[in-house]
Amino acid sequence: MPFEPELRHMTIHGHRVAYRTAGPDDGPALVLVHGITSTSATWADVMPALAERGFTVVAPDLLGHGESAKPRGDYSLGAYASGIRDLMVALGHEQATFVGHSLGGGVAMQLAYQFPERCERLVLVDSGGLGREVSLLLRAATLPGAEFVLPLLAAAGLVDAGRSVGRFLDRVGLRVMTDVEEMARGHASLHQADAREAFVNTLRTIIDPRGQRVNATDRLYLAENVPFLIVWGERDPIIPVEHGRVAHELVPNSRLEVFEDAGHFPHVDEPRRFSDLLLEFIEETEAAEVEPWQWRELLATATSSAAA
């Protein structure tokens, strides 16, 4: 049985879509969505453990990232959500547990909102879209002319210097090497003009110089009927862990797990702990089956409360 991730490709709406998959073709679907400038490779260390338990694990390269196409087009959360829905349909999966990291968390929330009938469980990992605060670097990248500065961030010398600083901080007890490595890998991808354009277009739909523009906390009540897990690295320098704690308070039936020694990439820092937690969460919860009447009732209750 194929436990190691395999990189595959297909064409959807005329665009090349790359995705990694592991496990049987007919198991319960687990869809893993990466963050901005990242790729499906970020999940490589957790996919085998999930596949070993019989899950069909699918991790796409979002458009504009990795080996997927980088067209001029729509890079909104809604467009990304629709693209994942289309990939699921093409692969024959009606429903899935959605796991989203950083930008991917925003995409997963948008997908659960647009297509609730397809969402069995929702897992957010150091997710965007839950508060205004975000790193200065990402806010600066939304400024006019940022696209002309980004090639400097992708320069090999600067990337290597960042890694050297990260190694030094690790040696003195500050565990940031994973964050530095993952961000350096993402920045290195921006040497391609089409990747830079996709990055800027994506970023400006969700962030401006003041912080995150998209805030899903006003819709989290819609997760009431969906098993909901929030995972965060306590040392996240990009999106503060407080966002996860606030989301947990807003959804009383949610579960929050904080990885005390992890940064923005807890699934990379502690892949075994992460995969064990995810498997435990799935085993202890029943897949949601959101009926149209439940959706209408939730919206009607929220509308009535707002009017009062």
What does the alpha-carbon distance between residue 301 and residue 33 come to, in Å, rounded to a whole number?
A: 31
Catalytic residue check, 194: no
Q: Which residues contact 284 (CB under 8 A, 6 or more apart)?
A: none
Does the CA dihedral 251-215-266-30 come out positive or negative?
positive
End-to-end CA distance of the chain: 56
- 130 within 8 A of 246, measured Cβ to Cβ: yes
Which structure tokens are listed for 231?
């995972």
Which candidate in 40, 68, 102, 189 is catalytic?
Answer: 102
Q: How many CB atoms lie within 10 A of CB 104?
A: 31
CB-based contacts of 99, cutoff 8 Å, min separation 6: 30, 31, 32, 33, 108, 123, 125, 278
Specify whether the CB–CB gap between 19 and 8 falls below 8 A. yes
Angle between helices 193-206 and 146-153 (to 10 degrees): 120
Q: Which of 209, 204, 205 is nearest to 134 (CA)?
A: 209
Q: CA dist 209 to 37, 131, 204, 213, 264, Å?
A: 19, 14, 9, 9, 21
Q: Which of 126, 179, 236, 269 is catalytic?
A: 236
Establish whether 264 is a catalytic residue.
yes
In the residue annotation, 26 being an active-site residue is answered as no
Contacts of 17 (CB under 8 A, 6+ apart): 9, 10, 11, 60, 61, 63, 68, 69, 83, 87
In angstroms, rounded to a whole number, what is the distance separating the alpha carbons of residues 161 and 167? 10
Main-chain dihedrals φ then ψ at residue 12, nearest 5 degrees: -125, 125
Q: Which of 93, 243, 264, 267 is catalytic?
A: 264
Q: What are the residue numbers of the active site? A: 102, 236, 264
